[in-house]
């Protein structure tokens, strides 16, 4: 275990650069912060390449387990202070630990559609908070994974990882352009259910046939008309007040639990 207390340290500069998407892509690494999230990662079998912790925070049993597991796996454990942790995470009030992880695989071909009766699909999602919340919903409903379509926010950004509260490490993620996803989906079983307005039925009306792929569109624009037309079923959630729509993550959660309640089991 080594100690780093200088902001000018090359490793500090390198790790801090991972807050930028270009550097994450070039390095194939991303940041996760907080004892709870890093513990979720450890329990899911993911350990950091580098683990930074603040002095005096290594006495917590979970921190001790995390440090020991990281060292056994060949990762490097670094003792530092809260100022450097703040610089790494971008938070004024950082957690006690920051981990640097290898990016998780996101290729669509590795997805086994028969592994779960429900999958969440998000198209051009822009807000990292929404992405993190949808990941947590996927974990809560036992979804097989989250598939990101077209240019979505980076799931490995510090903000998205934080918002996922560890679900990033428990829920498989795939990324693909629409054409690739559509061709893949039509190559096997799968009911594509889109959240839309035009030509949609009340979300409580239909039965659903597993595996269901629940498609949520962009926060501001919704689904492109061609994507909505490609769905097997379009559903809408009635708005009884003056607001014209629900938040994308909230709508996804409402629909996910509705599908879970009404779905027919996999053969």
3 state DSSP class of 264 = strand
Asked whether residue 267 carries a pLDDT value surpassing 60, the answer given is: no
Beta-carbon count within 10 A of 202 CB: 10
Topology (CATH level 3) of domain 108-264? Alpha/beta knot (3.40.1280)
Confidence of residue 52 (pLDDT cuts 50, 70, 90): very high
| CATH 3.30.1330.30 domain extents, the chain | 2-102
Write out the CATH class of domain 2-102.
alpha beta
| CATH 3.40.1280.10 domain extents, the chain | 108-264
DSSP 185-230: HTTS--EEEEE-STT-EETTS--EESSEEEEE-BTTTBS-HHHHHT
Residue 224 φ/ψ, nearest 5 degrees: -60, 145
Spell out where 4-111 has E strands: 29-33, 50-54, 76-80, 97-102
Note the pLDDT of residue 246: 74
Confidence of residue 64 (pLDDT cuts 50, 70, 90): very high
Confidence of residue 58 (pLDDT cuts 50, 70, 90): confident
Beta-carbon contacts of residue 72 (< 8 Å; ≥ 6 apart): none
Bridge-based pairing of strands 50-54 and 118-123 is unpaired
Note the pLDDT of residue 142: 95
* Cα angle value 167/24/96 (rounded, 5°): 55
Note the pLDDT of residue 1: 78
Q: What is the pLDDT of residues 126-167, one digit of tens each?
A: 999 999 999 999 999 999 999 999 999 999 999 999 999 999
3 state DSSP class of 111 = coil
Q: How many residues does the chain have?
A: 267
How large a percentage of the chain has pLDDT more than 90? 79
Could you tell me if 167 and 32 are in contact, meaning their C-beta atoms sit under 8 angstroms apart? Answer: no
> Which range among 42-46, 88-92, 202-206, 240-244 shows the weakest confidence by mean pLDDT?
240-244
């Amino acid at each position: 275990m080594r100690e780093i207390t200088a902001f000018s340290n090359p490793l500090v500069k390198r790790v801090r650069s991972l807050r930028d998407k270009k550097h994450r892509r070039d390095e194939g690494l991303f940041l996760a912060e907080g004892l709870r999230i890093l513990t979720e990662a450890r329990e899911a079998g993911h350990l950091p390449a580098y683990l930074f912790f603040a002095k005096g925070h290594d006495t917590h049993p979970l921190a001790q387990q995390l440090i020991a597991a990281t060292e056994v796996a060949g990762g490097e454990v670094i003792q530092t202070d809260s100022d450097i942790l703040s610089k790494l995470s971008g938070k004024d009030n950082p957690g006690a630990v920051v981990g640097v992880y290898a990016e998780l695989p996101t290729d669509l071909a590795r997805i086994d559609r028969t592994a779960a009766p429900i999958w969440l699909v998000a198209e051009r999602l822009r807000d990292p908070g929404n992405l993190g919340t949808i990941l947590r919903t996927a974990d809560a409903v036992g979804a097989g994974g989250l598939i990101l379509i077209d240019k979505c926010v980076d799931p490995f950004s510090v903000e998205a990882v934080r918002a996922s509260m560890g679900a990033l490490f428990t829920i498989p993620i795939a990324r693909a352009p629409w054409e690739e996803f559509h061709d893949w989906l039509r190559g096997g079983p799968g009911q594509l259910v889109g959240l839309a307005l035009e030509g949609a039925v009340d979300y409580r009306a239909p039965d659903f046939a597993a595996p269901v792929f629940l498609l949520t569109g962009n926060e501001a624009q919704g689904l492109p008309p061609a994507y909505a037309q490609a769905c097997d079923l379009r559903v809408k959630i009635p708005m009884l007040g003056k607001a014209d729509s629900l938040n994308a993550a909230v709508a996804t959660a409402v629909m996910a639990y509705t599908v879970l309640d009404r779905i027919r089991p996999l053969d």
